[in-house]
Amino acid sequence: MDTIASLFSFITTPVSWVIVQFHTLFGAIFGPNTGWAWGLSIVSLVVLIRICLVPLFVKQIKATRAMQTLQPEMKKIQERYKNDKQRQSEEMMKLYKESGTNPLSSCLPILAQSPFFFALYHVLSGIANGKTIGVIDQPLLQSAQKAHIFGAPLAAKFMDSQDKVAALGASLTDVRVVTAIMILLMSFSQFYTQRQLMMKNVDTTVKTPFMQQQKMLMYVFPVIFAVFGINFPVGVLVYWLTTNVWTMGQQMYVIHNNPTPGSKAQAAYLERLYKHVTHHRKTRNRREKAIVKAIVAKGRERNEYERKFINGLSKSGLAAQADGSVVLSENATAVVTADGEEDTTTTAGTPKRQQPKRQSKSQRHHTGAQANPKANQSQGRSRAGQSAAQPSLKKDGGDDTQSGKSEDKSGGKSTPASGNARQAKSGPRKGGPQRPKHPSKK
């Protein structure tokens, strides 16, 4: 570790200068030789570095999400060229180039702060060995050696001997208890940060090897930190614990306000956004407009949570616009898309065309009767006239008029003068005048 730290000796002077400036500030409050003054100086160094690395963190988020979207294509390439590793690598690089992504972008924050980490380790090792380094002169060196954090010197390690710890003015028990607690907190914070990323901010609709790798790292990284942590000075443990806590808080902020599409965090965020928008009847700030604008622009490519959000706005009498705003719209109607879900993004004032509902036969008859009562009355009178014009039947089954049938001389049987024999056999007709029965079927 000392050999690696010496490689970054060129940055020890800037790091030591920043620590001294913060020490001057906190030393005036807590005292120059206290652990609070030197410990808060290291914490302030971490905060300053992480603020400078925020643009890289944003780039890391974008790169990670881009890699998640490329996982299905990467899996296809691996299966297609599983026997040709060279062709597989070429196709991977081509895919990265076309999509504009870089796998190393997700590691940028860690790589960027590594020089500061090793420079701080180099500074604290010099303090433990009683050597001036950077802008830390002899008086500051003596002050740093006297500083203790909960009884443990800044330069002490978990694996130090009793004599070395005694030379720093502390007991071995205090040093090991404090360093063990800090190592556990450092490992737990690393585990929790990775776990909330996997459990809440990963698109659960896409099952890829990338997710399995992240899940494995969730358990591997804490173990690595615990193994290397026993060789870190207390000051370095303060640095690394602070940066882990910062990363955890930063990750929680991103998950809460800018979650990954398709993740559980997005479902919770859109639910909160729906309540705010329906309560205020509009999007309140630029960030909410950007989220709504992105959802509207997806169209039919929206995921389940985004479709639920848009449909909820429509049911509340609101319509999401292409610019991200939300307006009142009584004409917003739900339309079933090809995948079976409803899509209700409409422009205010332009209602969608709806197919009329199909009515039953009795409803159509009732509607027609109400629409044209005069026609129904005339139809009834005509039916009554037809019924009156029909010949009345005698008791023996014959007609009282002789015009409707003829007498056969040979058999004396009467036959109908007109009509179809098939219709006569079919029986009385429904809803109309009845045809007289033949005397033989009396």
Q: What is the mean pLDDT of the chain?
A: 75
- Find the mean pLDDT for residues 314-341: 70
- Residue 20 is predicted with a pLDDT of 92
End-to-end CA, the chain: 120
- CA 329 vs. chain centroid, Å, equals 27
Strands 152-153 and 148-149: antiparallel
Q: What is the C-alpha separation between 253 and 378, in angstroms, rounded?
A: 78
- Name the pLDDT band for 395 (thresholds 50, 70, 90): very low
- Find the mean pLDDT for residues 290-298: 88
Sign of CA dihedral 201, 207, 211, 215: positive
Q: What is the C-alpha separation between 253 and 269, in angstroms, rounded?
A: 12
**What φ, ψ does residue 48 adopt, rounded to 5°?**
-65, -45
Least reliable range by pLDDT among 44-48, 375-379, 388-392: 388-392
The pLDDT of residue 402 is above 60: no
Q: Which residues contact 155 (CB under 8 A, 6 or more apart)?
A: 124, 125, 127, 128, 144, 145, 168, 233, 234, 235
- Find the mean pLDDT for residues 338-357: 48
The pLDDT of residue 256 is above 80: yes
Which tokens go with 360?
A: 């039953």
- Residue 179 is predicted with a pLDDT of 93
- CA 294 vs. chain centroid, Å, equals 13
**Cβ–Cβ < 8 Å for 291, 235:** no
Q: Dihedral (C-alpha) 331, 332, 333, 336: value to the nearest 10 degrees?
A: 150
- Residue 82 is predicted with a pLDDT of 80
pLDDT, one tens digit per residue, over 51-90 is 988 888 877 777 777 776 676 777 788 788 888 888 888 8
The pLDDT of residue 401 is above 50: no
- Name the pLDDT band for 340 (thresholds 50, 70, 90): very low
- Find the mean pLDDT for residues 273-301: 87
pLDDT, one tens digit per residue, over 155-212 is 888 988 888 888 888 889 999 999 999 999 999 998 888 888 777 776 655 555 556 6
Q: How many CA atoms lie within 13 A of 338 on its CB side?
A: 4
pLDDT, one tens digit per residue, over 80-124 is 888 888 888 888 888 877 777 776 666 677 777 788 888 888 888
Q: What percent of the chain is predicted at pLDDT more than 70?
A: 67
The pLDDT of residue 403 is above 60: no
- Name the pLDDT band for 2 (thresholds 50, 70, 90): low
pLDDT, one tens digit per residue, over 202-255 is 665 555 555 666 677 778 888 888 888 888 889 889 988 998 999 889 888 888
- Name the pLDDT band for 397 (thresholds 50, 70, 90): very low
- Name the pLDDT band for 7 (thresholds 50, 70, 90): low
- Name the pLDDT band for 369 (thresholds 50, 70, 90): low
